[in-house]
Structures are given as C-alpha cells and as structure tokens.
Amino acid sequence: MIAIGSDHAGWELKKALMAHLEEIGEKYIETGCTDGKSIDYPAVARDTCELVISGKADRAVLICGTGIGISISANKVKGIRAALCTDCYMAKYTRLHNDANVLCLGGRVIGEGLATEILDTFLSTGFEGGRHQRRIDMIADIENEAKYK
C-alpha cells in the first residue's frame, strides 16, 4: 500500500501518478489536496508520513511545487527517510543505500513521464542492507538523541 499526498502545487502530478498506480495494480491511500485548492504542505507531509509509521502504508509519495518543502517537513517525522528525487538514479540509490520510505517530487519541476519513471524505480528497488544498515541505524540514533527532542 502506497500513501500519496500533495499540496495544491502537486495536485496535478498526484492525479497522474494515482492513475499510474491504478494501471499497475498498486493500491494507494490519497492524502492532502483533492481539488486544487490551497493546502499547507507541512500538514500533508505529517499526515501522509503517519500512515507509513503506523504501518497502514508501506511507503509514501509526497508532492509539492518543488518537492523541497514537503521533503523537509517529512523528514521531521521520526522514522521517516524522505528523499527528493529528480531522476531515476537518485530513486534507485535512495532505496538501495538509504532505505528511503518516502519519495518526494516537485510538481512544478518535473514532468509526468519522468515522475512516473522515478516512481516505478522507487517502488521496484529494494534495500541493499549490509554496510548501509549501519548508516540507517546512525540516522535513527540521531533522531533518538535527547538534545534533538
């Protein structure tokens, strides 16, 4: 199950990606903007990431105008490793090496075709583990340090 959320700037791309998810038989939960009206991306990021943390979704896709604001917001949620990807190489390696559980995209930055390819790469690539797990553990340690709470 994929959670997919956007603010108003990412709404058009979100609609296209939801149609693609339906085409490939991937189930999803939609969050955030549903009509193109203005909505705040930090709230969308929080609500969507909570679906991943709770286990209701395996991974998530978040879209705002550039992908920057929504990725910053998503990475404030404990346990989330959100990656802003602008090409398939980034999507592949954020899964292989970072075990990213949230893909962030810029609806005003990349087109529908490239976004679809990035999404497919993100969904089809697994985590390599090994030496990369140590680094994921280090990220979790930073999240759990008292001075950051």
Per the annotation, the verdict on 132 as an active-site residue is: no
Per the annotation, the verdict on 33 as an active-site residue is: no
Q: Which CATH class is domain 2-148?
A: alpha beta
What value, to the nearest 5°, has the Cα angle with vertex 98 and ends 97 and 103?
Answer: 120
Identify which of 76, 77, 98, 90 has the alpha carbon closest to the alpha carbon of residue 119. Answer: 90
C-alpha distances in Å from residue 65, one per residue of 12, 54, 56, 98: 10, 27, 26, 24
Per-residue pLDDT of the chain (149 residues; tens, 9 = 90+): 999 999 999 999 999 999 999 999 999 999 999 998 999 999 999 999 999 999 999 999 999 999 999 999 999 999 999 999 999 999 999 999 999 999 999 999 999 999 999 999 999 999 998 999 999 999 999 888 856 55
Catalytic annotation, pick one of 8, 33, 49, 64: 64
Domain ranges of the chain: 2-148
The pTM (predicted TM-score) of the whole model is 0.95
